[in-house]
Amino acid sequence: MRKLLFDLRQLSPVYYPGCALTIPDPACSDCPTKENGRVRHLALKKVSYTFVDITNPVEWQTALTNRDVYIFAYTKGTYSMTPNESPSFGNVENQLDSYSNILELMEPNFAINRNFWNSIKGALNFVPIWGSASKIYEGTVPATIIPSFKIEDDVKSIINWNLKIEWTEANLPTIYDAPAGTFDRCIEP
């Protein structure tokens, strides 16, 4: 049997400096434009469809007519993201791997949208696009869509669809100016 002997002083230290990144300069404004909250709009885009110009209202109308996109002009809710980390090496304790994203919305077209939500529940071929006051945000991977509703013991309560839309992806959502006239009224295919 052969012994393997070596001198620890001859080993080179290994250092992982991280990946080379191209980092754009941050922007700064002495008078920044503020964006008001609440998820006010939702669109579900088929994975197979790609916008050429997501800010073009004509392209949205074409996508809607072809049923590549479904638009819900009136929603109410929140968007949140949680970082997913994994153990790192060396002096860095953890590293960022991805984000878990959740849209939790109410959609008011209760009875008339039952067939739509029943058919799309659990579908894994739609990418969420959601809007705030003047911006829209686009995910890049398919999401799980979970519709539900609750009837309260309150004669003044309103029944709405409660939507939970979940997905995980590595990057932050892309932000665009909302296309004019696309999310400010009900538009059907």
Convert the pLDDT of each residue in 60-114 to its tens digit: 999 999 999 999 999 999 999 999 999 888 888 888 899 999 999 999 999 999 9
Confidence category of residue 22, pLDDT binned at 50, 70, 90: confident
Say what the pTM is. 0.84
| Residues whose CB falls within 8 Å of the CB of residue 91, separated by 6 or more in sequence, listed in order | none
Distance between alpha carbon 150 and the CA centroid of its chain, in Å?
Answer: 25
- Whole-angstrom Cα distance, residue 78 to residue 145? 15
Query: Would the pLDDT of 33 be above 90?
Result: no
H helices of the chain, in order, are 57-65, 114-120
Q: What is the pLDDT of residue 32?
A: 83
Query: Which tokens go with 121?
Result: 């529940």
Q: What's the mean pLDDT in 35-61? A: 96
Q: In the sheet where 174-177 sits, what is the strand order?
A: 69-72, 41-46, 126-131, 135-138, 174-177
Buried b (16+ CB within 10 A) or exposed e, 71-100: bbbebebebeeeeeeeeeeeeeeeeeebbe
Q: What is the pLDDT of residue 24?
A: 81
